[in-house]
Amino acid sequence: MSGRVLVGVKRVIDYAVKIRVKPDNTGVVTDGVKHSMNPFCEIAVEEAVKLKEKKLIKEVVAVSCGPQQSQETIRTALAMGADRGIHVDVSGKDYENLGPLQVSKILAALAKQEDAQLILLGKQAIDDDCNQTGQMTAALLDWPQGTFASEVSLEGDKINLVREIDGGLEHIKINTPAVITADLRLNTPRYATLPNIMKAKKKKIATVKPADLGVDLTSRLEVLKVEEPPQREAGMKVETVEDLVVKLKEAGRV
C-alpha cells in the first residue's frame, strides 16, 4: 500500500482539566477551558507519520470536524508531521449534536473524495467516551476494521494488526482499504518541536462544510440531561491487613 491516510483528530477538553457541569445541566462548561487534541488521536497521528517515514504511505491528511478552533488541533497534527489538513466546519447547534454517526458520515465521504487507503482514528474520544466512530466509519464504507490496535504493520495490500482484547492480544490480517483505531500501547506520540511548529504554519488546511460532502447532520439522538457523578465517599483508614479484612467483611465486600 502506498497511498493516502486520513487521520481523525478531535478537539476535546484537555485531559488534565477538572470537568464542570453547567448549572442548567445542558452540558459541560467549555468557555475559557483548555482544549487539546484527544490523546488517542495523537497516537493515531504518530502511527500515520511513522508509516510515512518508513515510506509505506505517501500522504497523511489530518481531519477535524468542529468549530473554527479545530484548526488549532489540525495545526498540532501538522507540527507532528501530517502533510495537510481538512477542517470540516461544524458550529452552533450542529456542533452540539455532532456525534459518532455524523462524524463517520463525514469521514466516509472524505475517504471517497480523497481516495484514501487507510483511515486511522483514536479508539475513543475522552470527552464522550463513545468508542463508535471507527466502527461506524468502517460499516458505512464497507471496509475491514482493526480496532484497539497495539501494533500495525503493512504488508503489500494487507495490514497485520495486534488488537488489545479482554484477556490477551489478538493477531489479525485485514485487507486495505481499512479503518484502524489506535489503542494506548500502539506508540508514544512525539512532541511537536518548535521548528516543526513553525513549518506547520506553512502547511495547508482546507475548510469544507458537511453539505459540500453531501452529509446531512440531522441527529436522531437528543441529550436530555448531563449531571455530575455522585460524590465519592471518603475512604476508610486501617492500620493492618487484618483490620482491612474485618472492615471489608463488615461492609459485606468479601
Q: Which residue shows C-alpha cell 518548535?
A: 194
CB nearer ligand AMP, residue 100 or residue 189: 100
Residue nearest to ligand AMP (CB): 122
The CB-of-136 to ligand AMP minimum distance in angstroms stands at 8
Query: Is beta strand 158-165 parallel, antiparallel or unpaired with respect to 145-155?
Result: antiparallel
Total residues found in the chain within this entry? 254
Q: What residue ranges bind ligand AMP (CB under 6 A)?
A: 8-10, 38, 40-41, 44, 63-66, 100, 103, 121-122, 124-125, 128, 130-133
Q: Tell me the backbone φ, ψ of residue 39, rounded to 5 degrees.
A: -55, -35
CB nearer ligand AMP, residue 72 or residue 157: 72
Q: Cis peptide leading into 189, omega within 30 of 0?
A: no
Helix 133-141 and helix 100-113: axis angle, to 10°? Answer: 50
SS3 102: helix
The CB-of-168 to ligand AMP minimum distance in angstroms stands at 23
CB nearer ligand AMP, residue 40 or residue 143: 40
The CB-of-19 to ligand AMP minimum distance in angstroms stands at 16
Give bridge partners of residue 155 from the DSSP assignment: 158
CB nearer ligand AMP, residue 43 or residue 79: 43
The CB-of-235 to ligand AMP minimum distance in angstroms stands at 31
Q: Which residue shows C-alpha cell 452529509?
A: 215
CB nearer ligand AMP, residue 114 or residue 247: 114
The CB-of-36 to ligand AMP minimum distance in angstroms stands at 12
Residues 6+ away with beta carbon under 8 Å from 46: 80, 186, 187, 188, 189, 190
